[in-house]
């Protein structure tokens, strides 16, 4: 089962691209462009991506499921355009939609057809695990008096919880869309708690 949680070369590439895009977005949003701050927010990009992936892949390992990290071209362009707008204007804007995940499970043969043993509830658990991983990182950042890191984690979590899964919105399916399809109450609770986390770091 260990391979369920493992990162392949494609996942590593997408992880690094996603981390870089998130880091650029954080830097542009703050409007501070020193090497120290650029380095800090690049690390923040790596941290938020690591927390999400750790949560999802830990649960995938337990469930014998698979997680494939993907880079959203439309989402990344939207994120970078917002960063560019923040740089050239006096208005700070941040949009974080660079990545999404595909979930799958073991495939079984039945009546001559291959069936993927993945259903919506498993996808809900995996998406929720990524959010819980981010929450755990936020708690650790607050415990170690790292408010900027905690803010970066909570802002990233808010965007991951947005229920976007519509072809006219320039993103791919976010975790929030999967969670909302399974339980509107849980989605509302998660979103509300994450907004409180953002407020506590302002």
Cα distances (angstroms) measured from residue 29 to each of 38, 91, 92, 124, 155: 11, 9, 5, 31, 11
**Dist CA 84 CA 81 (whole Å):** 5
Distance of CA 169 to the CA centre of its chain: 17
Block residue for tokens 């707008």:
85
**Dist CA 15 CA 27 (whole Å):** 18
Residue 104: the pLDDT is 82
Residue 26: the pLDDT is 96
Walk along the chain (202 residues) and give the pLDDT tens digit of each residue. 445 556 678 999 999 999 999 999 999 999 888 999 999 999 999 999 999 999 999 999 888 888 999 999 999 999 999 999 999 998 899 999 999 999 887 655 455 555 555 566 888 999 999 999 999 999 999 999 999 999 999 999 999 999 987 777 788 889 999 999 999 999 999 999 999 999 999 8
**Dist CA 95 CA 77 (whole Å):** 10
pTM: 0.89
Residue 45: the pLDDT is 97
Residue 27: the pLDDT is 95
Cα distances (angstroms) measured from residue 73 to each of 7, 14, 18, 55, 113: 20, 11, 10, 24, 33
Which residues are paired to 113 by β-bridges?
110
Residue 189: the pLDDT is 97
How many other C-beta atoms are found inside a 10 Å radius of the C-beta of residue 27? 23
CB 131 within 8 A of CB 55: yes
Residue 2: the pLDDT is 45
């Amino acid at each position: 089962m260990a391979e369920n949680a493992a990162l392949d070369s494609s996942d590593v590439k997408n992880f690094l691209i996603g981390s870089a895009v998130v880091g650029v977005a954080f830097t542009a949003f703050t409007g501070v462009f020193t090497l120290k701050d650029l380095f800090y927010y690049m690390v923040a990009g790596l941290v938020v991506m690591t927390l999400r992936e750790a949560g999802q892949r830990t649960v995938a390992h337990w469930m014998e499921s698979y997680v494939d990290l993907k880079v959203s071209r439309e989402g990344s362009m939207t994120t970078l355009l917002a960063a560019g707008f923040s740089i050239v204007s006096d208005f700070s804007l941040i949009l974080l939609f660079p990545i999404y995940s595909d979930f799958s499970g073991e495939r079984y043969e039945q009546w001559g057809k291959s069936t993927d043993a993945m259903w919506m509830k498993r996808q809900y658990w995996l998406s929720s695990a990524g959010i819980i991983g981010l929450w755990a990182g936020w708690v650790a950042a607050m415990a170690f008096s790292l408010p900027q890191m905690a803010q970066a984690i909570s802002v990233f979590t808010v965007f991951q919880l947005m229920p976007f899964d519509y072809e006219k919105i320039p993103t791919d399916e976010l975790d929030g869309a999967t969670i909302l399809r399974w339980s509107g109450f849980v989605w509302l609770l998660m979103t509300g708690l994450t907004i409180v986390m953002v407020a506590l770091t302002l």
